Structure 1
């Protein structure tokens, strides 16, 4: 069993990792961080953030690097559909009505299509 976090390099993504670590510790399960395609320096930052959030809780942390090709949402939802995943965690931010009209929302698509319960956190 595990908690799967959708990470983007934003304050909302960092808060999602923190909340995911809390949930993983509470449920005594693993924490899996699903990264958007990032460079090597950002990947190290994600590792450090996840490890720091889980320090002292006994939670095992793993990261999954999304492929550069394909939709990050589709890749995350495929990972979320694995039988060992119990909870999905993602960071969200407020969007204006115009922002909703002009731009699609990755987080909204995950919320609507998720095969598991989702914990949405604000930064």
Structure 2
């Protein structure tokens, strides 16, 4: 079984990473941390240093863990759906940020899309 963490380089991503490490260590499960997006100027895509920092943190764990970084034209949701479909994911962990009701209405919600489209349990954490 695998714990999958959707990571962004923001406080909510750090909260998801921390919770993923906690659960995977307690359950002795494989941990996969993924940062993904179509590319461009999306600030949630980690730079090389941030990715290296996350990967280095994972090497210090007592469980098998890996960091995956995808910028290959697919949306974040498509990448996560593909990983869930191809891996034995026991839980997907995502971070949530606070948004106003109008912001949710006008901009949509990536978290909502994930919750509605993936076939595994999802744990949403706040920063």
Q: The TM-score by the shorter chain falls in which range?
A: 0.7 to 0.9
Task: Indicate the SS of the match to 2:55.
Answer: helix
Which stretch shows the higher mean deviation, 103-112 or 33-42?
A: 33-42
Mapped partners of 2:74, 2:18: distance in 1: 27
Mapped partners of 1:10, 1:23: distance in 2: 20
For structure 2, the residue ranges without an aligned partner over 5 or more in a row are 37-44
How many residues are paired up?
A: 119
Distance 1:106 1:26, change over 3 A: same
**1:109 equivalent among 113, 120, 124:** 113
Report the TM-score when normalising by structure 1.
Answer: 0.87
For structure 1, the residue ranges without an aligned partner over 5 or more in a row are none
Question: 2:68 matched to which residue of 1?
Answer: 64
Displacement of 1:73 in angstroms is 0.8
Is it true that 1:46 corresponds to 2:20 in the alignment? no
Aligned residues of 2:30 and 2:65 also touching (Cα < 8 A): yes
Mapped partners of 1:17, 1:48: distance in 2: 13
What is the aligned-residue RMSD (CA, Å)? 1.6
Greater than 2 Å deviation, 4+ residue runs:
36-39, 48-52
